[in-house]
Structure 1
Amino acid sequence: MAWPTFKPTLRLDFTLDSIARDHGLGELAVIALQHAPPYDTTPGIPRDRKYAVDTPLSGYKDPDESEKRQMGDQGLNAYGQSILQLTGPTRYLAFTGADSGKTYGYANPDMHHFALSQLVEKQRADIRFINADEPVVPALRASLSDQQKLYTCIAHDLQDGLPLLVENSVLWRLECKTFLHEAEGLQTPKGELLAIDTGKADAKDDVMRPGGEPVSFEEFQKRLRNWTLPVVVKLTAGISGSNFVLRTDEAREECIKAVEERLQQYRRPEHAPFTGDVLGVLIQEFKDVEESFCVNFCVPRDGDGFILGVAEQILGENCSWAGARIDYTRQDSLKQRFQPQILRLATKLRDEGFVGVAGVDIVCSPSDETQWLVDINPRVNGSLILPACQSHFTSLGYDWATITFLPFPGPARVFAQHLAELQTTRGMVLKAFSERADGNTIAMLVIGAADREDAMKAPMELFPKLAQLEAARVARDSGSS
């Protein structure tokens, strides 16, 4: 398969290992890469909601449909590919969890892992891939020096016992919003963190346990109905939990039904390997403001935290992440604007046991100096590629750049050929590329723009160009047959 690859000559302003080297994090010799689940979870792409109900379950596959994926998925997920792109020349080890192919319902997990290793090799020839069938922990330990650390970015129970940059228990406390809810001195909306009893007899027992006050489902309903609207409800049991923005009583009742359905999913025996005995839910005051930013920053071992870049969030339904765009001309002023909040946050994160790259979502209004910290992601964020590519785009005359999704109703091998034809369009940078379980393909691209209005319109230029390339291909194939 002709997979598109990242530009080998792409000029990045920083990489993960350059940050680690320059700020006392050690040599990040290992990056944990995860495979794409059978049902694509890329923002903006419809999912089979019967099974893709949250991150732990998004990879769950109906056993009756296993024949559809005999060869396994042919790609890394978008997050894994983003990590690949932001790593420097240091030798890395990529691995996936033991038995993950079987866990996710692949008919042929060995073929899946082989395909994954081939993709990693094509994207980055300097990466060694450790197959899940190998003893993961001993293999990694044998490959690491005393000065090297595993940069996991994601809590994963299979990584226990490894020399982690940040311990799993710390990552999970941050991911499930316990830290955000309990930390003092940060400008956060009023919130209430609950842990709803799922009523499961058998549950996954590991560090990935949501914090919050233990309550029954009936008590959760009572608490939610007592809140004054609008509010946002975040299901925190996962890296990309679901959000519900509630502005009306009808929306509130629909949210309660959705949570009840989630609890029913948790109780199903086939979900036992993925889920715990509680469902974390954060009820939070909704700040309906004009600006939403993702501030990417670094927490060094010593010294002040610092901002890597500030990107505007592109939000979809229920404030779900649908991309980002960046104004390179405003980076200095935006960094100065948010630096006091980031200094306080970085200090608290380091006290908590976290060092490394993270992102925080901040909402505010131009007329109001109040900056509301509404979410934190203690890992490499999807928008980090934007500040890393500043020199690349500004050298081409673009003051803005935006992340966009480009779907294609066909196989990856055809889409890859079309992307090769489009690669000079607006300084295009490939961020992620994946063939979905339904046979269609999706690419996540970064493209340049002249200004904000142009950044909003630029993605639409790609659709007719892609359609023209596909029409020409079909015509050629028809003429040769």
Structure 2
Amino acid sequence: MSRIPDSDIVDPSEPLRLPTITLDTTISDLYRLANPSSPDRRIAWLACGTSSGVNLTPSVPRNVKYSYQDQAFISAPWKDLLSPSAAFQRTLAKKHLTLVAQRDAFIAGKALMVQFHIGRDEEEKKWDVLEAERTLSVLNETQRPEMVFCTGPGDLPEKVKEKGIEQVEYKIVFDDLERAIPRSHSLETHWMLNSKAALARSGLPTPKAEVIEPEPGWPGVEPGDCCAVCGEIAEQTNLPFIPPGCSGPRGEWLAQQTERIIAAVRAREVPFVFKTQQCWGGAGTWLVPDEEAKRRLLGDLEDTPGLNEGDGLLRKLLSLQTRENEHMAPGAILLMEMITAPKADYGLTFVVTETGEAVFLAAAEQMIARSTPGNSPSSTESSTPSLSASLSDDGNSSSSSSTSNESNTLSHGTNTTKTSTTSGVSWVGSTIHYTRQSILQERFMPLMSRIARWIHNASNCTYTGPVGADVLELDPDDDPQGRTCVIVDLNVRTCGSMCLPLLRTHFVRRGMNCAAGFSMRVCGLRRVDFFRRWRTMLEEGRMIILSWFEERLEEGEMESLVDVVIGAEDEEGLREVMRMVRGGTEEVAF
């Protein structure tokens, strides 16, 4: 059965009259502003995500050296990672290679935008292109990017020559980017800037944290030289996994490192936050407010015979450490102070210039949604009607706050929505109140400037571009250390909420002071059907599609992954519209 839908998206009997979308500025405009010494450099942007768990396509292999702990890596059984189903791979590919890439392409401006095909045959590849073109067609022509499609990062050197590209900017590091590709900063620098240990050691105001890195030894031998069990696994996959039953030095090293980390967790008093080194999409974060949560965390970390044999997080995480990346400590974990009573939870979005200055884009008030006991790693606690949730990576990342959902309201600048899992939170979307941005800019510019200077110095003056930071505001009278704020996460890349400040004029001119952006999975509806249902909102400019990819599943059902922005006059109206639009859809977790 073909994945491609049978009929075209446009119903000629009911033509839609969509408004032309003009952004206040674009990523390429901001990059020129940040780099006045080289404003005309021909740059290509790569906004696709990646996974360390599975190959997304035959041409987009899993990352091995530059590891990321996305939701699939955290949650999937190790046997599913070693031999993933085609459906599992396809689902991840649609999220990382299409949904994220189209969303960033929408705000890229007049620039080259690289997107990797998820289609394997020519018909499916044409569909990849057509879906992107349909989404971007509403943009003002002067702000519409030139899409550059290729099968994977291995094709980039050829595209660089073909398109005369002078520099490639990337959201996430792919292993294959180590090839001869012009970059402004090194891959290791980019990975380091986004690591949780680097933030903890930065000297910036952060929660107190203990960083536990694996001991040297990486674990000493290659899989094929370890033991019979490891040799058998090595013949099946390039995933550097230390399997149950390993009787060689790798298994011995794993047991030693696991014991060190488990001992530290057992000794840690609650409340605290447990984080892995590189989180993507909010995975890899556990909020541990009490002893019961600590017990569940320990159950997630260790193998439990008869329950999760081989699926303990530490086995998967520590297996990521190899000869090539040992110096980067990809298997490190952090035990962090939990901020139990913040005044507010913000997400800051800004740009770092070539001189280390910060250019303000938006400030976000974030709200935390926590998982309920007994949830599986993939289950969520819906919080759409009250917007009681928060942002993580790809917008920004997971917070170290234990603030209750019910006590939060939309009361400051931008709120970001998240679904929660047993391992923390995962990004779904964000909201903004435009009239409050000036006040928040004045409040947070000193902190953003300080972060920008650290990024500038830590990258040896090589990183320029977008940044997202999660910040908890504190009452100095209540905080034992007298702190006014702490940075709980830092993402040196484009964020999912970047579109909202760039759409300010579009919405405000239409009388809408609030806007929200979020991802969703739509089942049983084509794009044309969805457009008919929300025709008035689309034609009035109240709803904008940033990303859309639809296909027919093997069972015959239509499925679409969508990124949408909606506007409303006030917060109450925004809550109501979000409730209606998201009703009957599913949230998308990365």
Q: TM-score range by the shorter chain?
A: 0.7 to 0.9
Which residue is equivalent to 2:379? none
Of 256-265 and 356-365, deviating more is: 256-265
Name the aligned partner's letter for residue 444 of structure 1.
Answer: D
CA deviations 1:97-150 (Å, max 9, x no partner) are: xxx97xxxx9x47766554344344445732323339742133144235xx421
**1:378 aligned to which of 486, 492, 507:** 492
Relative distance call for 1:450 and 1:332 in structure 2 (3 A) is: same
Structure 2 segments unaligned to the other structure (5+ residues): 11-15, 57-68, 137-144, 224-237, 241-254, 303-311, 367-388, 391-418, 478-482, 586-590
1:373/1:35 Cα in 2 relative to 1: closer, same or farther (>3 Å)? Answer: closer
Would you say 1:429 and 2:482 are equivalent positions? no
Deviation at 1:452, TM superposition (A): 3.0
Q: How is 1:263-282 mapped onto 2 (pairs within 5 angstroms)? A: 263-265=314-316, 278-282=330-334
Q: CA deviation at 1:155?
A: 1.5
Structure-to-structure mapping, 1:313-462, within 5 angstroms: 313=366, 314-315=389-390, 316-317=419-420, 318-353=424-459, 354-365=463-474, 370-410=484-524, 412-413=526-527, 415-418=529-532, 421=535, 422-424=537-539, 427-435=542-550, 440-462=559-581
| Displacement of 1:56 | 11
Mapped contact 1:93–1:130 kept (Cα < 8 A):
no
433-442 vs 196-205, greater mean Cα deviation = 196-205
Q: How large is the RMSD of aligned CA atoms in angstroms?
A: 4.2
Equivalent position SS for 2:298: helix
Listed as ranges, the matches of 1:49-128 within 5 Å are: 52-54=72-74, 63=83, 65-66=85-86, 76-90=97-111, 92-96=112-116, 108=120, 113-124=125-136, 126-128=146-148
Segments of 5+ residues of structure 1 without an aligned counterpart are 41-48, 206-213, 468-481
Per mean C-alpha deviation after superposition, the further-off stretch among 80-89 and 426-435 is: 426-435
Residues 275 and 413 of structure 1: CA distance in aligned 2, closer, same or farther (over 3 Å): farther
One-letter amino acid matched to 1:189: P
Cα gap change, 1:219 to 1:194, in 2 (>3 Å) = same
Cα 1:130–1:193 change in 2 (3 A) is same
Mean Cα deviation higher: 128-137 or 12-21: 128-137
1:237 alignment partner, SS class: coil
Using the size of structure 2 for normalisation, the TM-score is 0.63
CA distance in 1, matches of 2:32, 2:335: 39
* Aligned: 1:254 with 2:296: yes
How many angstroms does 1:372 deviate by? 1.1
**Could you say which residue in structure 2 is the equivalent of 1:232?**
273
Aligned identity (percent) is 19
2:196 equivalent among 157, 162, 177: 177
Alignment partner of 2:473: what SS? strand
The question of whether the paired residues in 2 share the 8 Å contact of 1:298 and 1:358 is answered with yes
Distance in structure 1 (CA, Å) of the matches to 2:519 and 2:161: 38
- 1:358, 1:385 → 2: CA distance? 13
**Aligned-residue offset at 1:444:** 2.4
TM-score, structure 1 as length reference: 0.76
Which residue in the other structure is 1:208 paired with?
Answer: none
Work out the CA distance in 1 between the residues paired with 2:580 and 2:211.
43
Q: Quick one: which amino acid aligns to residue 224 of structure 1? A: V
- Is the partner of 2:567 in helix, strand or coil? strand
Larger helix percent: 1
Distance 1:226 1:164, change over 3 A: same
Q: CA deviation at 1:455?
A: 2.9
- How far the C-alpha of 1:463 sits from its partner, in A, is 5.0
| 1:15 maps onto 2:36 in alignment | no
The count of corresponding residues between Structure 1 and Structure 2 is 435
Contact 2:519 2:563 in 1 (8 A): yes
**Residue type of the partner of 2:292?**
E
> Are residues 1:286 and 2:338 paired?
yes
The residue aligned with 2:44 is: 30
Displacement of 1:397? 0.5
One of 118, 122, 138 as aligned partner of 2:158: 138
What is the CA-CA distance between 1:3 and the residue it aligns to?
6.4
1:157 CA drift (Å): 1.9
Query: What secondary structure, in the 3-state scheme, does the structure 2 residue paired with 1:89 have?
Result: coil
Secondary structure (helix, strand or coil) at the match of 1:13 reads coil
Per-residue deviation at 1:280?
2.9
